[in-house]
Structure formats: C-alpha cells, structure tokens
Amino acid sequence: MHIPDGFIDAPVSLAAAVTSAGVLAVAVRKGRDELDDRLIPMAGLTAAFVFAMQMVNFPVAAGTSGHLLGGLLAAALVGPWLGAISIAVVLFVQALLFADGGLSALGLNVLNMAVVGVLGGYAVLRVLLRLLPRVRGRVPLTALVGVAAWASVMLAAGAFVIEYALGATSDVATSTVATAVLGVHALVGVGEGVITAVVVGTVLAVRPDLVYIGGLLRGPQQLEIRQPTPVVVR
C-alpha cells in the first residue's frame, strides 16, 4: 500500500502533502486535549506495534501479499486523532529509514493510510455503532471493529485510485487500475479485519480501560454494586 516515488505526479503529491499536513495539525490540537500522562506511553506503543505488524506481510492470493495498515487498530487503541498521528509517525520512519514508500510520495501515503485510513475507518465504525445501538458487548463490538478495519483498507485503496485518476504518470486507464487495486485490497482488508479484531478483542478482554474503544464497551461486568466501607470509631 506504500506508494513509491514516480507513480503520482508532483502537483498531486504536493497537494496531498499539504492536505496531510493540515489534517495532522488539526489532529495535534484535538489529540492534545485527550492526551493525559497515561495515554502518552500508550500512543507511543501503538505506533511501535503498528510498525512491527506492518513488517509481517501475509499471503492473500497467488503471488500477492498484504500487511496490516493499522488505521482502525490505532483509532481503537488511542482514538482517531492520536491514532492518525501514530500512523503518520510509522510512515515517516518507514520512508526515511527504510526507503519503504517514496519521499515525494510521503504526503500521499500519509493521506491514504493515516488520514483516510484512520479517520475514515473510524467514521465507518461510528456509523456502524449508530446503526446498531445495542451492539456494545465485547465480542460484537470486536466484530464491528473488524468490519470497519476492512472498510478502512478499502477507503485507503479508494484514495489511491482518486490520486491515480488525478495525477497518474502512466497512461493505463483509471478504470483498469481501480478494478485491480480495489479487488486485491478487498482481500487484503480481510486480513486487516481479522488481525485488528484479534488484537482489539484481546485488549478489551485484558484491560479495556486502557484503550479508547473500551469507553464504548457496555456490559453487565461493568455494573458493580459497592458497599461503603464501614468506619469504626473507637
């Protein structure tokens, strides 16, 4: 999913970089308000974990692989704004240290995976939650997260198709590219959904209070009747 240099022309790459920078600036302002001392290490861990997971390409079809993009995973762990920044940090490290994704294409990659992938995927999750207001148990909520993770990959792939339509450097028809890119990512997205659901489900089972998505969890286990401790005065 990392666009190399050369696929998309300079004007569209530049426009993507400006757009990404603007959205990240908003994300810093919004994310700052949510960032207490407990969330700082959690957000750093989210970025490090997504970096590690992105190294692990899994086979999706004959001669094709995919890897986690982590957009919805990041949003579920630390919220959409800090999640977008986390993914952007991953993309910076990959482009600068590992030559993974082009330098002139960095704005495009941030736009597709950090902005569209995280914020778009999270928007899909909010819509799903609104349509299904009773789904708040741990397992069904985890399933919704998986579905939204699939959608986040499709949105990121769709963003690439739009960029290709606007600034392709080759003369291959956009419709041909759209079919191929969206088709293969419909499969990659399944892996994204499964991995995201496994990680989020595990975290929700262990320490739901540490992650953003835990705030959406509602279940009988959270209703607890506590008796006041009697005070004995001697």
CB of 26 to another protein, least distance (A): 13
Q: Which is nearer to another protein, 148 or 195 (CB)?
A: 195
Q: Which is nearer to another protein, 4 or 135 (CB)?
A: 4
Q: Does position 206 bind another protein by CB under 8 A? A: yes
Q: Does position 184 bind another protein by CB under 8 A? A: yes
Q: Does position 129 bind another protein by CB under 8 A? A: no
Contacts of another protein in 62-81 (CB under 8 A) = 63-67
CB of 56 to another protein, least distance (A): 5
Name the phi and psi angles at 60, rounded to 5.
-115, -35
CB of 18 to another protein, least distance (A): 20
Return the bridge partners of 64, or none. 61
Q: How far is CA 75 from CA 104, 110, 217, 234, in A?
A: 26, 15, 15, 53
The span from the CA of 211 to the CA of 72, in Å, is 13
Contacts of another protein in 19-38 (CB under 8 A) = 28, 31-33, 35-38
Q: Which two tokens stand for residue 66?
A: 């995919």
Among 45, 127, 132, 198, interactor with another protein by CB under 8 A:
45
The span from the CA of 144 to the CA of 75, in Å, is 13
Q: Are 110 and 88 in contact (CB under 8 A)?
A: yes
Q: Does position 55 bind another protein by CB under 8 A? A: yes
Tell me which stretch binds another protein (CB under 8 A): 117-125, 138-146, 174-182, 218-226: 174-182
Grouping H, G, I as helix, E, B as strand and the rest as coil, residue 133 is coil
The span from the CA of 172 to the CA of 132, in Å, is 41
